[in-house]
Amino acid sequence: MQAISLQELAASASSLGVNIGVLAREWEWQETGEPVESLNERMRDRLQVMRDAVARGLGGGRSRSGLTGGDARLMRQAPEAVRAIGGEPLCSAISYALAVSEVNACMGRIVAAPTAGSCGIIPGVLLAVGERLGSGDDELIEALFAAGAIGSVIERKSTLSGAAGGCQAECGSAAAMAAAAVVQLSGGSPEQCIQAVALALKGMLGLVCDPVAGLVEVPCIKRNAISSSVSLAAASMAMAGIRSVIPPDEVIDAMGAVGRDLPVSLRETAGGGLAVTPTGRRIAKEQLRQAGVEA
């Protein structure tokens, strides 16, 4: 069984007295017949992939294009004066999100959560907050199940594809999923989880997908970092009792409508936005030249 709306998801979890992650895992068991222990182990494997990607990314390395790499390490090693600006867990979330995204650009192993282009947000936010709270693996695994349930609803009601809905559908959805996971990890209620989803998506509404040279590097990697901050802001507000005036499910519907209204040039085609700035065009020509293709 899968929820058709966030409201149904939160209401079902609340009526059973469980969090969204536990409910999502239960529904997965009912739908597939796979034992809970096996589902936990598969999610544990994904958690480890996330951790490995963070560790690898923090070690540095450049992408094949030469456009990106090393920013995660710079952020991790930033002096105290820099880290004091955002504090923790924000600074760690940013460095972790950059790390995973840089590993993706280097063709390393990541978890597409929910997409490769937005792969740094959930691990960045969840692992940083988990470290701050002293969360165990079981709690992190349940939080990942919660994030998955939120992503499933967004996909059913709207889209997770940048080509279909712009970067709001990728980084925006990932920020929303991460916000819900963090609220659950912090002891928030199912209702607070879906309020965090609404607040995060509202902050990302309209974000275009404009990859320079068609690569998932610029501006994608740094958008993962910025989206992590949006996720943490949304989770903080939801935990404080702040609610979205527009109901969460209506926010998802609005995201889908905005995505359909975006011109094709701003939906992963590298035909608009940053991709067609003078520097963006120059980078594209250089990449073609390196590939032995006439610009």
Structure-derived torsion over alpha carbons of residues 13, 235, 165, 70, reported in degrees to the nearest 10: -130
Q: pLDDT tens digits for 109-153?
A: 999 999 999 999 999 999 999 999 999 999 999 999 999 999 999
Residue 267 dihedral angles phi and psi, to the nearest 5°: -130, 70
Helices (H), the chain: 6-16, 20-32, 36-58, 71-76, 80-86, 90-105, 121-133, 137-157, 162-165, 167, 173-185, 190-204, 220-239, 248-261, 278-290
Q: Which parts of the chain have pLDDT scores under 70?
A: 1-2, 294-295
Tell me the fold of 6-290: 2-methylcitrate dehydratase PrpD (1.10.4100)
**Predicted pLDDT at 15:** 98
**Predicted pLDDT at 1:** 61
**Predicted pLDDT at 294:** 63
CB atoms closer than 10 angstroms to residue 53: 24
Q: pLDDT tens digits for 209-243?
A: 999 999 999 999 999 999 999 999 999 999 999 99
267 bridge partner residues:
209
Q: Write down the residue that tokens 């952020």 correspond to.
A: 75
**Predicted pLDDT at 72:** 98
**Rounded Cα gap, residues 93 and 168, in angstroms:** 19
**Rounded Cα gap, residues 143 and 113, in angstroms:** 13
